[in-house]
Amino acid sequence: MDLSQAYATYLPWVEAEMRELLASPEPALARHYGMMQYHMGWLNADLQPADAPAGKRLRPMLCLLTCAAAGGDPQQAVPAAAGLELLHNFSLIHDDIEDYSPRRRHRPTVWTLFGIPQALNAGDAMFSLAHLAFLRSVERGVPASTLLKVLRTFDETCVALTEGQFLDMTFEDRLDVSPADYFRMISRKTGALLAAAPYIGALIANVTSEVMDACRQFGAALGLAFQLQDDLLGIWGDEDLTGKSAAGDILSKKKTLPVIYALEHDQVGPELRRLYGGPPFTPADLPYILKLFEVASVRSLVEMQVRQATVRAHQALAAAKPYAVPELHALLGELLDSLVGRQA
């Protein structure tokens, strides 16, 4: 099995599980569930069937592939994988509201179409359905004792997500955010869920605690590399590929790692702090700001951090051996490498 075959095998299982969870139980609630289905890419803005971009499904893939690589039955991990993806998408619905983001995956965000109150409610429903997804694990033969550990990991991850989002929002009005502050935030906002996915897969496979811990470290390092690459795309990405506004992180004055490095730079830092402390940016400001970033060489600094995080992820993956299925273990490394240097 290669990586594309793994996606073709595992993801339809997750998709079917999520569609069952998000199906409207009665006609009066069709619009409520329709908003969630729209966000997932299954419906269009008129809540009619569509085949829209649905995201990478990275978290369920990590969960299922880790479970299978560790010798477990990936079918047993399907409800957990679905729950992880629903949790991720709940957080995106709320993040789009908190960031006033008008577009995601090349389409209007839920709140811009249906209003903030309904979008908040749809996100809350998806959060609850994520928990219910995990409880379906018992029907797949997961022992209750294992499920309790899985649910504890899931809830700890939920708390970490809110902590990371809190820190991220506090950065908005600060000009003194340090790289250490950034890494603390991102280890929760992005890293916690990506660390939980392979860890939960390993839990369900019933491997040793040492292997489970290595799987968690693998996911955490992968999460850092993944987010750092997102930071690069948020400034230098191709809008046609990313589905987000070009240089949108600059216009929103988001404190991503390239910005933080630039604000700390001896030569351009004072000018950037003046600009970031001033009026909102317009597209006309972008060329000058990008030039300041170029002087500070922040792009290459962040690219170096991506490489370092990738090395750490590979080291953790190596420490997770012995796996029962070596070829699937190798696919986890291929999955990691496929995320580094991506353009969307």
| Per-residue pLDDT tens digits for 168-222 | 999 988 999 999 999 999 999 999 999 999 999 999 999 999 999 999 999 999 9
Contact 29, 141 (CB under 8 A): no
pLDDT digits 0-9 by tens, 271-291 = 999 999 999 999 999 999 999
Delimit the domains of the chain by residue range.
Answer: 3-338
- Give yes or no for residue 85 having a pLDDT over 60: yes
Contact 266, 195 (CB under 8 A): no
pLDDT digits 0-9 by tens, 237-262 = 877 776 566 578 899 899 999 999 99
Q: Does this model's pTM top 0.85? A: yes
Token duo for residue 295: 């002087």
- In our burial notation (b when 16+ CB lie closer than 10 A, e otherwise), range 246-257 reads bbbbbbbbbbbb
Q: Can you spell out the DSSP letters for 278-291?
A: SSPP-GGGHHHHHH
- Taking the C-alpha atoms of residue 164 and residue 162, their distance in angstroms, rounded to an integer, is 5
- Taking the C-alpha atoms of residue 332 and residue 6, their distance in angstroms, rounded to an integer, is 10
Residue with tokens 């490489």: 307
- Taking the C-alpha atoms of residue 50 and residue 178, their distance in angstroms, rounded to an integer, is 43
CA-nearest of 241, 232, 252, 203 to 298 is: 232
What's the residue count for the chain?
A: 344
pLDDT digits 0-9 by tens, 22-73 = 999 999 999 999 999 999 999 999 999 998 988 889 999 999 999 999 999 9
DSSP 281: P
Token duo for residue 206: 């019933």
Q: What is the CATH number of domain 3-338?
A: 1.10.600.10
Token duo for residue 201: 């897969």
